[in-house]
Chain A
Amino acid sequence: MGWIRDELAHLNESVVGKNLEMALSAYDLMAEHAGIVSLTDDLSAVGWQHPDWIELPLEEAGISAPTIHAADTSEQLKTGLWRTMRPVIDYERCNRCWWVCSTFCPDGAIKVQEDGYPRIDYDHCKGCLICVAQCPPHAIAAIPEYLAQEEESSEEGV
């Protein structure tokens, strides 16, 4: 436990607390084994099962190239987790030029809606802040992601 505290000392108490809790519950799970973790027997070097090795046949490239023939697979993978800064559009200021931010976003994470206002897809926005730099009327602000998340969770809490 002291070890976990040492290593996570730089994080806040609640993170340390959660880690300690997880470690303790994992420890409790082992209780029925009375703390004894045994190794499996060494695999005997006589009479073992022979591996079913095969000769890999050559197949045409249409089959043997690693391609997924389907669209939208990246939609399902939320890559926005990397963000440390979050771009936030002030719709009061946005003058619906519609194209600048949405064109410059290298991740295609800004979609322009029917009403001409852009919307950022935070599941995929990486927080590169190129949109912030490009928006002509400076309608996009950059907010530290952790603050944005704290705000969100306190709103949810209300």
Chain B
Amino acid sequence: MKRILLTGNGAAAWGARLASVDYVPAFPITPQTEIIESLAGWIDNGEMEGRLVTLESEHSMITAAGAAAATGVRVFSATSSQGLLYGMEMLYTVAGWRAPFVLVNVSRGLSAPITLEPDHNDILAARDSGFLQLHCATCQEVLDTVLLAYRLAEDEQVRLPVLVNMDGFYLSFTREPVEIPERERVERFLPAFEPGSIRFRASAPESQAVAVLGGGPYFYFRYQTHLAARNALKVYERVAEEFEALFGRRHAVVEAYCCDDAEYLFVMMGSFATKAKAAVDWLRSNGWLIGLLRPRLLRLFPEAVFRCELAGRRGVAVIDQNLSIGAGGVLHTEVTSALYGQPEAPPVLASFIGGLGGRDIAPEEFYEMAEVIRKAAETGETPPPRLLYTETELRETRKLQAIAQVERRQLGEG
């Protein structure tokens, strides 16, 4: 088996190549990534079959992806941040068509102000769209997850598009050793797409995604999409087991690291969770009973797994790399609602907002968070949400504001 140094972008492209995708609609300009560039190169020089078509926007790209998937071919595409939002109308639409395909998102903080660094507000904006969501923490996981995502999307019991998320820069541009599985083995895991009931042909026209009035039918179709998404949990578990048997890597619905005897837990998703893992190791070497829970599957939301994993813990710190403006951390809200009324729910479930716009989370911040939840557990009172933002950072920002002020004065605006 080949293990080479690949970026997250390279790993996503390899995933699509190994899945033998038939069609890749792509918006070719920023914020598009090297994923599409790699696929275009391979298709161009004959290393990969399939057809790549460039479109004038992510809105058209996602429309093309859904339309092609509705004809029963295997479709792949990729986008990032503003691009995902530009295609938002069609995300909801193609999910409603029940068109199965895989879309990789390279997470990046949203404008304004504009940034190039990652957080999860882009992908979470698509939370309610009907796309399933899988979140990756390593480059290997990106490749593996693209393969898993096709099995999930194309399953008769699911039939939904899937978003695979990786963090910009931290994964997309960072090389890690990645094992590229052999094609024969991938074909055993992921055979050619068997489109079953979706066969849209020019010779046999049909109407997809019809208009409905009166609420009743609308309700039915939307709720069916929801039920299909809920059904994806057991399908994911089965598929992940098959994956492990063939490739030896386990990708559980929720990764539980050092959780068995843990009294305290960090909960977070994406590549920054690897920082939490390191902090868990260091804290454990100092006698802490602490672990990390990292949801891979965010939609559907695996609340049963959370209930079970969090039961009986003394304190939990949910670290959100996102901010629902006017509310707070999205993951914290979801975990809290999963635990309401559960007899064994942890008494302390604290919310931390960190890592917005790619802002690092330092080891001492993890230690401090651990301290905060330990102290809170003594009184049983959950502290108010805490921003991981330092005095030093505010001072830096003040400098920039001072420059803006001077300029304003120069312009004679007081």
Chain A contacts to B: CB under 8 angstroms: 3, 10, 42-46, 48-56, 63, 66-71
Q: 18 A-B contacts, Cβ less than 8 Å apart?
A: A10-B41, A42-B278, A45-B285, A45-B288, A45-B363, A45-B367, A48-B367, A51-B368, A52-B391, A53-B389, A53-B391, A54-B390, A66-B113, A68-B407, A69-B405, A69-B407, A69-B413, A70-B407
Question: B residues within 8 A CB of A45?
Answer: 279, 282-283, 285-286, 288, 363, 367
- A50 near B401: Cβ-Cβ < 8 Å: no
| Contacting pair A69 B368 (CB below 8 A) | no
Across the interface, B368 reaches (CB within 8 A) one of A3, A53, A70, namely A53
Chain A proximity mask over B268-282: 1 for CB below 8 Å, otherwise 0: 000000000011001
**Is the contact region of chain A dominated by helix, strand, or loop, or is it mixed?**
loop
Which residues on A sit within 8 Å (CB–CB) of B367?
A: 45, 48
Secondary structure type dominating chain B contacts: helix
The residues of B that contact A42 with a CB separation of less than 8 Å are 278, 282, 363
Assuming the contacts A43-B363, A45-B282, A70-B410, asked whether A54 and B394 have C-beta atoms less than 8 A apart, the reply is yes
Are B387 and A56 in contact, CB atoms less than 8 angstroms apart?
yes
**Which residue on B lies nearest to A55, using beta carbons?**
B387
Task: Please determine whether B401 and A63 come into contact, CB atoms closer than 8 angstroms.
Answer: yes
**Inside 8 A of B401's CB, which chain A residues have their CB?**
63
Cα A52 to Cα B390 in complex, Å, equals: 5
Asked whether B404 lies within 8 Å of A69 as measured between CB atoms, the reply is: yes
In the bound assembly, the distance between CA atoms of A71 and B404 in angstroms comes to 11
Taking CB as reference atom, which chain A residue is nearest B280?
A: A45
Whether A48 lies near B407 (C-beta < 8 A) is no
Q: Which residue in B5, B363, B388, B405 is a CB contact (below 8 Å) of A53?
A: B388
Q: How far is the CA of A3 from the CA of B413 in the complex (A)?
A: 57
In the assembled complex, the Cα of A66 lies from the Cα of B400 at a distance in Å of 10
Query: A9 — nearest CB in chain B belongs to which residue?
Result: B45
Residue of B nearest to A57 (CB): B394
Cα separation A45 to B401 with both chains bound (whole Å):
36
Partner of B362 from the list A10, A51, A67, A70 (CB cut-off 8 Å) is A51
Inter-chain contacts of B45 with A (CB < 8 A)? 10
Contact across chains for A69 and B408 when beta carbons are under 8 A apart: yes
